[in-house]
């Protein structure tokens, strides 16, 4: 003969059912995320077109800086001048607006993704590196970033 559960036991059984329900819900949501439901694919860089990026004299070797008002940065190392997007590949945040950009590396302030000075992922959640763009210089030393031309990360404008 089964005795009816006491009021305390009844609440315990109901509490267990709710916990299992929450666990099942979280498992389903977690599976959707793992299958690509939330940010597993890299976000494409913001479209910027051709952007003036200052004069070559303002970009000494060993610098990386945000191009004013644009989701991109320009830098210079021993190989030359380069530019890359500041659109984080995780969720599309503008690293120049929400994080930090320096020659030591970049950090997205939205979810903590970190990139080295060349845009390679140092730590997630970003799934891929930052895209690089072509850079040109005119006779007066004025730099232009060509946001519509993605190039290899090792490509530099020799100056």
DSSP category for residue 15: H
The per-residue pLDDT for range 64-90, each reduced to its tens digit, is 999 998 999 999 999 999 999 999 999
pLDDT at 24: 40
Q: Cα(133)–Cα(135) distance, rounded to whole angstroms? A: 6
Q: How far is CA 116 from the centre of its chain?
A: 12
First-residue to last-residue Cα distance in the chain: 91
pLDDT at 8: 52
Q: Cα(31)–Cα(34) distance, rounded to whole angstroms? A: 5
Phi (first) and psi of residue 70, to 5 degrees:
-130, 150
Q: What pTM, to 2 d.p., does this model score?
A: 0.72
What's the Cα-to-Cα distance from 158 to each of 61, 132, 134, 152, rounded to whole Å?
A: 12, 15, 12, 15
pLDDT at 159: 87
Which position has the higher pLDDT, 8 or 34? 8
Q: Is the pLDDT of residue 144 over 80?
A: yes
Average pLDDT of the segment spanning 30-49 = 55
Structure tokens at 15: 């509490």
Q: Cα(18)–Cα(24) distance, rounded to whole angstroms? A: 10
The DSSP-derived string for 125-159 is S--SPPPEEEEEE-TT-EEEEEEEEEE-TT--B--
The answer to whether the beta carbons of residues 99 and 110 sit under 8 Å apart is: yes
- Give the residues across from 83 on adjacent strands: 74, 133
pLDDT at 47: 74
């Amino acid at each position: 003969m089964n005795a009816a559960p006491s009021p305390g036991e009844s609440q315990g059984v109901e509490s267990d059912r709710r916990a299992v329900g929450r666990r099942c819900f979280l498992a389903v949501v977690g599976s959707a995320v793992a299958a690509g439901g939330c940010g597993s694919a890299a976000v494409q860089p913001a479209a910027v077109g051709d952007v003036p990026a200052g004069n070559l004299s303002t970009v000494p070797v060993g610098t990386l800086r945000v191009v004013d008002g644009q989701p991109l940065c320009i830098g210079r190392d021993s190989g030359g001048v380069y530019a890359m997007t500041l659109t984080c590949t995780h969720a599309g945040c503008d690293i120049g607006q929400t994080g930090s950009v320096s020659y030591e590396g970049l950090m997205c302030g939205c979810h903590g993704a970190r990139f080295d000075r060349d845009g390679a992922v140092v730590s997630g959640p970003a799934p891929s590196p930052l895209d690089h763009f072509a850079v040109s210089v005119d006779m007066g030393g004025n730099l232009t970033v060509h946001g519509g031309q993605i190039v290899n990360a090792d490509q530099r404008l020799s100056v």
